[in-house]
Structure 1
Amino acid sequence: MPMKSKDGRTTDAYCVAKYGNKWVRTRTLLDTLTPRWNEQYTWDVYDPCTVITIGVFDNNHINGSKDDAKDQRIGKVRIRLSTLETDRVYTHYYPLLVLTPSGFEETWGTSIGIEAQQIVAARLGRSEPPLRRETVEYMLDVDYHMFSLRRSKANFQRIMSLLSGVTAVCRWINDICTWRNPITTILVHVLFLILVCYPELILPTIFLYLFVIGIWNFRFRPRHPPHMDARLSQADHTHPDELDEEFDTFPTTRPADIVRMRYDRLRSVAGRVQTVIGDLASQGERAQAILSWRDPRATAIFIIFSLIWAVFIYITPLQVVAVLVGLYFLRHPRFRSKMPAVPVNFFKRLPAKSDMLL
């Protein structure tokens, strides 16, 4: 990207690579928008589950620049070594991603704590060529712990993506229980009865199923090593005010009306998070209340029911119990009531400590 406007639009680019505690910096190529450093570096890799970070910067400390000038970020990319194949040379192009107060920018290029960061910056600043503090901070992501509405949305989407798999499994089980596809449901009945009659086949069946899933997903494997994703980071469609808030100093330097607006927005987001956390706490407290006698009637019912089940399971073969429970769970919709299940209804009526909150 052209980073300087004087003498035409040009860039004085250099590249920095970080792997563990190893740092390297290439020479600066002057006045070019297509830099090729052609420099090779070698590291010993003892753990493939590590990440190499490569950043590209524009040098603002040449040609008599001011001492307080800062090198500008062009972008960076992270690559996890475990995603690379052994004995293979990679010559792919990777996008150099950078988020600025003016928005998300993308360039194409080739393949802690505060005290610790200051120590590293001071040490690397004495190297030749030097690595300045702004470069070290960018490579170490020192501002990662600061609040960012964009990053919060990205993490929320990550959680929803994980839960989507669980939701898909629950939906599949619900389709089986409601006989939406009778052939699949009958096959599940047959498999269930076989596993009950031959319980030694349960674990082999599970691992065989995992093997089949892995083989099936082989053709969908990524063709190139993954890198930083702008869409996953919520950087390609972030509101300008959210970016301005993310790059604001701490404490803030913005006017009071802008700070008030952002505070109200944060309260709105935090209110939704507070509700979700409270619901999760209520579910856990209901589980604890089953045997804590907070609801004497519910606890009495549960322990009597537990005693009956203990006697029933003791005198009844386990396979018979499994068959009865499984067939009841997979029963036809004709034998299902539209009312909520009794265990679910019983659990939802258990007390939680939310009644004790002011």
Structure 2
Amino acid sequence: MFADVSEERPDCRIGKIRIRVSTLESNKIYTSSYPLLVLTRTGLKKMGEIELAVRFACPSFMPDTCAVYGQPLLPKMHYIRPLGVAQQEALRGAATKMVAQWLARSEPPMGHEVVRYMLDADSHAWSMRKSKANWFRIVAVLSWAI
């Protein structure tokens, strides 16, 4: 949400709200007051409230949903010429590095190791911990079946 303050700075951020579409029922009107929150360098600041009336309309739910789920997830190019494993790894590494650099400048700064752990950057690599966890899951399922 933006507010008109002056001609020099026509748009300044006054906050934002988040409404989860998955919680809305079709053709029902929701009226509620939401706080406008903005993240500043000093922390989260309440900039006021906004009252909204929202109606989630989906006239033909089933055909639209089937059409959306029937479409490919990726653009056609990715199916014709998919990225190789090396390219995927290079992109994953570059994305991890960019996020780590961005979070290193935050307050308090976050280390590269923490970012790699949180992004699970090495999820594709073999891990003894993951292998043991998967083994115990398999044993639990098989012991229940037996």
Q: Could you say which TM-score interval applies, normalised by the shorter chain?
A: 0.3 to 0.5
Query: Which is richer in strand?
Result: 2
TM-score by length of 1: 0.15
TM-score by length of 2: 0.33
Q: Which has the higher contact order (CA 8 A, sep 6+)?
A: 1
Query: Which is richer in helix?
Result: 1
Q: Which has the larger radius of gyration?
A: 1
